[in-house]
Amino acid sequence: MSTLDQKINEHFPGLVVRKDLVKTVKGNAIVPSYVLEYLLGQYCATNDEATIQTGIETVKEILAKHYVHRNEAGLVRSNIKEKGRYKVIDKISVALNEKTDAYEAQFSNLGIKKVLVDSGTVKAHPKLLVSGVWCIADIEYVFSEDQNVSPWILSTLKPIQLSHFDYDAYVAARQQFSTDEWIDLLIQSIGFNPEMFGRRSKLTQLVRLIPFCERNYNLIELGPKGTGKSHVYSEFSPHGILVSGGEVTVPKLFVNNSSGKIGLVGYWDCVAFDEFAGKQKRVDKALVDIMKNYMANKSFSRGVETLGAEASMVFVGNTRHTVPYMLKHSDLFDELPDKFYDSAFLDRIHFYIPGWEVDIIRGEMFSDGYGFVVDYLAEILRSMRNYDYSDQYREHFTLSSDISTRDRDGINKTFSGLMKILFPQGGATRDEVEEVLRFAIEGRKRVKDQLQRIDTTYGEVRFSYQDQQGQEILVTTLEEEEYPGYYHQTVSTPDDGGLEPEPAADKGGEPKEPRASEPVLEEKHLTFQENQKGISFDGLFGAYLKGASRITVTDPYIRLFYQIRNFMEFLEAIVKNKAEEDEVAVHLVTVRDEFKGDLQDESFEKIQESARTVGIDFTWEFDESGTIHARHIVTDHGWKISLDRGLDIFQHYEMNEAFAFANRLQQFRSSKAFEVTFIKQKPNGTEGE
């Protein structure tokens, strides 16, 4: 076990489970993760391997015996008849039969209906009345001659979710973890390996949890397929429900005026709409209108009566186009159905998750570490809905007066939600508060900037905040940094000259077409955000490497395979920028890997042999002291390029996938956050002109 896993088990005994066990026990059972983790939490919430193996067998046995597969429903019904009583795991929904004045249950997989349920059970678990709840139930079979009497009798019913928890103990245990450790614990609880994600990507994943801990929070995520947008809402919590965007009606979502029955928003903490995007989808305008009112005022009308509810709204959908295409030709809401492509509706969204920044889910991204049993975390998040952390930045920062009330509400709710998730105990540092505040502002700015493109009546807003010294800090979105030429145009702007993005050499990207004039080489400092794309070694360094006959690279971390591959790609950038008839000497100063030094030597020898064929004389040396920390590139024609991360600027990508563009072209990879400084040196190597 890792140090973090040991710490998790020490401070949350019995409340955590190894996340790879869910796949081990699931088999072909079509059940949400929280159902499986409920069972694993009963038998496998430990770090003792023998107990875990015994627990896995017990859970598998319970599922094999009691989980109802639809194709085996007949056999289970026969078991109930022959044994008289039998325990099943199934999704159960309840409806009131007005003719008999009785509550009747329907078992989704078992396929039986009209099973009598007493009023006390319905009062204790009202969600049974809406869309159903996964339960462990005892069913009896008693045949009756009376055709109106169902032979099925519900003996006991227990919803699969945690019955109690100690919130104070949760907060006390949180204090034993650093912020980084806590974030990694939460990422493992969702099921992902935190090593595969950068800080910004982790926060993006955690924003998906805010609807469970913040009342009436409106969230949208649009992005490519396969990024796990709907997973959290279908699998993570028994308090959330995922519905198909095309299946929603006013009675189902809000209220049925003829029966007076309250819809989904009255029973669930979070209602998520799957497959929300799609221009051709038919949408009821009345639904959009009542949704607009609910998202703004937390209330909806039933005839003459106004009702309130607390359900958060989440909209997830797929995009078909790239971000630069959408920014050039339309906007980032372009994929929505016409009726929802409405500025008044979109203005009520508190945060826009940039789904294009989220990696497509790959097998290596799943965690085999320990995380919370998800129904435990779901109950913790639910209890946090009673708290408000939105004022915790005011000790350090003030939002710009230019930000409207609605924008401020969106920022405050996102900030409050993330602070509850990350710092339930309070005590966040000034820098941590600032990080969360900036992230909250960016998500709301993304909404507002697109509204300005859609509706010209929305004026410019300066999304910034001030610190205690009165210094103003401006917030930008990542796509604004990447595509400044397209980002600030409106949809109605003619698509002609003057809208091209900034020169690629300045932003680290590769220009689509070569420019006629040579780029101007100057001293400068560049900062790149996490998840930024369009960056390559050629675009960053190419112009500064051109004309050099000797280049020295100092980087202590050219050890592991992916780091050595990075160095090979740096050599490719040199080859692209040298004349075919020229030769360039490249010398690498690095540190020997204490475990795999032989492999390191072997890789460098292969590179040396290959480099000779293209006019590169590659040599290397290991710093025996092992104390070098500087990372830079120095050329013999007067440039020093200082790198805070060395050449390790890219996040994990599909390195073994031959047909992935991120594998072939650097500009399609997500970057880490990093900085580069270009310094002009005198011929003797000293800085300055």
What is the percent of the chain with per-residue pLDDT over 90, rounded to a whole number? 61
State the number of CA atoms in the 13 A half-sphere of 135 facing the CB.
26
Per the rule left: phi > 0, alpha: psi between -120 and 50, beta: everything else, 61 is alpha
Give the model's pLDDT for residue 29.
Answer: 73
Between CA 505 and CA 519 the distance in angstroms is 7
Short-list 373, 76, 357, CA closest to 199: 357
Give the model's pLDDT for residue 127.
Answer: 80
> Which one-letter DSSP state was computed for residue 234?
I
Short-list 438, 408, 433, 409, CA closest to 422: 433
Short-list 378, 373, 368, CA closest to 42: 373
Q: Let me know if residue 231 belongs to a domain.
A: yes
Provide the token pair at 495: 């698509």
Give the model's pLDDT for residue 512.
Answer: 47
Q: Let me know if residue 462 belongs to a domain.
A: yes
The mean pLDDT value for 533-538 works out to 95
* The last residue of a domain, from among 159, 179, 203: 159
* The last residue of a domain, from among 459, 487, 515: 487
Short-list 204, 262, 269, CA closest to 236: 269
Short-list 684, 576, 586, 683, CA closest to 633: 586
**Are residues 460 and 526 part of one domain?**
no
Cα dist from 465 to 200, 397, 434, 529, whole Å: 20, 6, 10, 19
Between CA 184 and CA 197 the distance in angstroms is 10
* The last residue of a domain, from among 104, 139, 159: 159
Short-list 279, 278, 301, 305, CA closest to 290: 301
- The DSSP-derived string for 117-176 is E-HHHHHH-GGGGTT-EEEEEEEEE---S-TTS-SEEEEEEEESS-----HHHHHHHHTT
Give the model's pLDDT for residue 683.
Answer: 59
**Are residues 320 and 280 part of one domain?**
yes
pLDDT at residue 507 is higher than 60: no
Q: Let me know if residue 53 belongs to a domain.
A: no
Q: Contact 376/162 with Cβ under 8 angstroms? A: yes
| Top-ranked range on mean pLDDT: pick from 106-115, 119-128, 346-355, 498-507 | 346-355
**Are residues 184 and 298 part of one domain?**
yes
Give the model's pLDDT for residue 231.
Answer: 87
Extract the runs of DSSP E, i.e. beta strands, from 387-516: 397-399, 464-467, 472-474
Q: Let me know if residue 449 belongs to a domain.
A: yes
Q: Average pLDDT, whole number, for the chain?
A: 89
**Are residues 340 and 321 part of one domain?**
yes
Provide the token pair at 344: 């008044």
Give the position of tokens 């930024």: 532
Give the position of tokens 């770090």: 47
577 burial type by CB count under 10 A (0-12 exposed, 13-18 middle, 19+ buried): middle
Between CA 325 and CA 345 the distance in angstroms is 24
**Are residues 244 and 200 part of one domain?**
yes
Give the model's pLDDT for residue 245.
Answer: 66
This prediction's pTM: 0.82
DSSP 3-state assignment of 192?
A: strand
**Which range, of 440-444, 553-557, 652-656, averages the lowest pLDDT?**
652-656
**pLDDT tens-digit readout, 332-362:** 999 999 999 999 999 999 999 999 999 888 8
Give the model's pLDDT for residue 517.
Answer: 57
What are 632's strand-pairing partners?
A: 554, 642
pLDDT at residue 52 is higher than 50: yes
**Are residues 538 and 433 part of one domain?**
no
Give the model's pLDDT for residue 685.
Answer: 55
Extract the runs of DSSP E, i.e. beta strands, from 458-569: 464-467, 472-474, 524-528, 550-554
Q: Which helix (H) or strand (E) holds 512?
A: none
**Are residues 447 and 312 part of one domain?**
no
**Are residues 300 and 284 part of one domain?**
yes
CATH number at 233 reads 3.40.50.300
How many domains would you assign to the chain?
Answer: 4
- What pairing do the DSSP bridges indicate for beta strands 639-643 and 674-680? antiparallel
Give the model's pLDDT for residue 688.
Answer: 52
- The DSSP-derived string for 626-670 is ------EEEETTSEEEEESSTT--B----TT-TT-HHHH-GGGSP
> Which one-letter DSSP state was computed for residue 488?
T
629, 632, 635, 637 alpha-carbon torsion, rounded to 10°: -110
Rounded to 10°, the helix 537-545/561-576 angle is: 50
Q: How is the beta sheet containing 351-354 ordered, strand by strand?
A: 240-244, 270-274, 312-318, 218-223, 351-354
Between CA 654 and CA 656 the distance in angstroms is 6
Q: Let me know if residue 21 belongs to a domain.
A: no
393 burial type by CB count under 10 A (0-12 exposed, 13-18 middle, 19+ buried): buried
- What pairing do the DSSP bridges indicate for beta strands 632-635 and 616-622? unpaired
* N-terminal to C-terminal alpha carbon distance within the chain: 54
pLDDT at residue 516 is higher than 80: no
> 469 is in which domain, residue-wise?
388-487
Give the model's pLDDT for residue 686.
Answer: 57
**Are residues 211 and 264 part of one domain?**
yes
Per the rule left: phi > 0, alpha: psi between -120 and 50, beta: everything else, 297 is alpha
Residue 687's pLDDT band (cuts 50, 70, 90) = low
678 vs 493: which has the higher pLDDT: 678
Provide the token pair at 587: 């010398």
CA 516 to chain centre: 42
Q: Contact 207/390 with Cβ under 8 angstroms? A: no
DSSP 3-state assignment of 493?
A: coil
CATH number at 668 reads 3.30.870.30
Give the model's pLDDT for residue 425.
Answer: 93
The mean pLDDT value for 225-249 works out to 85
Give the model's pLDDT for residue 360.
Answer: 87
Q: Let me know if residue 22 belongs to a domain.
A: no
112 burial type by CB count under 10 A (0-12 exposed, 13-18 middle, 19+ buried): buried
Per the rule left: phi > 0, alpha: psi between -120 and 50, beta: everything else, 162 is beta
> Which one-letter DSSP state was computed for residue 13?
T
Q: Let me know if residue 381 belongs to a domain.
A: no
**Are residues 620 and 519 part of one domain?**
yes
CATH number at 127 reads 2.40.50
**Are residues 364 and 463 part of one domain?**
no
Give the model's pLDDT for residue 163.
Answer: 63
pLDDT at residue 579 is higher than 80: yes
pLDDT at residue 371 is higher than 90: yes
Q: Let me know if residue 12 belongs to a domain.
A: no
Degrees, nearest 5: CA angle 618-619-623:
145
**Are residues 626 and 509 part of one domain?**
yes
